[in-house]
């Protein structure tokens, strides 16, 4: 029997997910930053600022930003590590990586490296990085458990994993508003602004299929991390998980 997984609310063959996700991000790459601002009312910038502030990244550190897309976080990590540090911006999607390269170049930042990779098989030696970050990307990974094990492997002892992702709110009132917005407004805005309603329908569905806060915390610990905590942002619509490798 063929292995299956979810693509939004659809069940598909596991081997098909990567290409379907690639098609989604190929289609939205050029409008990605604009849509983030519109759909989150700018809140994504506050969520990312909180992530950077929670990272404990310091001068001289090595940072890997997985699914880094247009490079918002890589820019800030670059400031924190200084001239002696290293930041690698990575993404599985070439179109998104190209947008990141253009974005950093336009801001005069040339000291970030770019690597196209799959989070399930990271092309780095064990114990290489002080910090690994993945923001709004883990829900698109086919085998999340394998990806988390890889992130654990490449982190140095005392290294930090940061996962910023949409999550689950406990507020019944907020959930009703958020569900209505996600399935009735968000795809329509995607159609109007990015000329791609279907991709934003998938993105709304993918959020609902992502593990909740406690489940993801357990997954991080099961991957080998000795410590994991999470902080809810915007009432739990978004959560930041922080794992430490001892």
Q: Give the residue among 137, 144, 115 at the shortest CA–CA distance from 203.
A: 137
Fold classification of 4-244 is Rossmann fold (3.40.50)
Rounded to 5 degrees, φ, ψ at 164 are: -100, 120
Average pLDDT of the chain is: 95
Measure CA 211 to chain center.
14
User: Which pLDDT band, with edges at 50, 70 and 90, does 2 fall under?
Assistant: low
Q: Is the pLDDT of residue 1 over 60?
A: no
Q: Report whether 119 belongs to an annotated binding site.
A: yes
Q: What is the mean pLDDT of residues 76-94?
A: 96
Which pLDDT tens digit goes with each residue over 230-244? 999 999 999 999 999
Query: Residue by residue, what is the 3-state secondary structure of 67-118?
Result: CCCCCHHHHHHHHHHCCCCEEEEEECCHHHHHHHHHHHHHCCCCCCEEEECE
Q: Is 118 annotated as a binding residue?
A: yes
Residues 129-154, mean pLDDT to the nearest whole number? 97
pLDDT per residue over 86-139, tens digit each? 999 999 999 999 999 999 999 999 999 999 999 999 999 999 999 999 999 999
Residue 135 assigned as binding residue: yes
pLDDT computed for residue 132 by the predictor: 98
Query: Structural domain boundaries of the chain?
Result: 4-244
pTM: 0.93
Q: pLDDT tens digit string along 207-216?
A: 999 999 999 9
Based on the number of CB atoms within 10 Å of its own CB, is 121 exposed (0-12), middle (13-18) or buried (19 or more)? exposed
């Amino acid at each position: 029997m063929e292995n299956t997984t979810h693509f939004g609310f659809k069940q598909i063959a596991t081997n098909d997910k990567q290409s379907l996700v690639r098609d989604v991000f190929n289609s939205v790459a050029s409008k990605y930053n604009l849509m983030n601002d519109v759909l989150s009312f700018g809140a994504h910038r506050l969520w990312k600022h909180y992530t950077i502030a929670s990272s404990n990244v310091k001068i001289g550190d090595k940072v890997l930003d997985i699914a880094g897309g247009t490079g918002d976080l890589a820019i800030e990590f670059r400031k924190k590590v200084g001239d002696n540090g290293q930041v690698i911006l990575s993404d599985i999607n070439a179109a998104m990586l190209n947008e990141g390269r253009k974005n950093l170049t336009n801001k005069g930042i040339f000291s970030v490296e770019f690597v196209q990779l799959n989070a399930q098989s990271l092309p780095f030696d064990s114990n290489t990085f002080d910090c690994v970050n993945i923001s709004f990307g883990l829900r698109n990974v086919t085998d999340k458990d394998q990806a988390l094990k890889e992130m654990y492997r490449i982190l140095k002892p005392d290294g930090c994993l940061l996962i910023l992702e949409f999550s689950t709110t406990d507020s019944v009132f907020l959930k009703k508003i958020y569900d209505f917005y996600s399935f009735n407004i968000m795809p329509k805005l995607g159609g109007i602004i990015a000329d791609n309603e279907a991709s934003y329908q998938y993105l709304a569905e993918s959020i609902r299929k992502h593990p909740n806060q406690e489940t993801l915390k357990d997954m991080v610990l099961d991957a080998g991390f000795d410590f994991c905590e999470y902080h809810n942002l915007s009432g739990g619509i978004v959560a930041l998980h922080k794992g430490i490798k001892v």
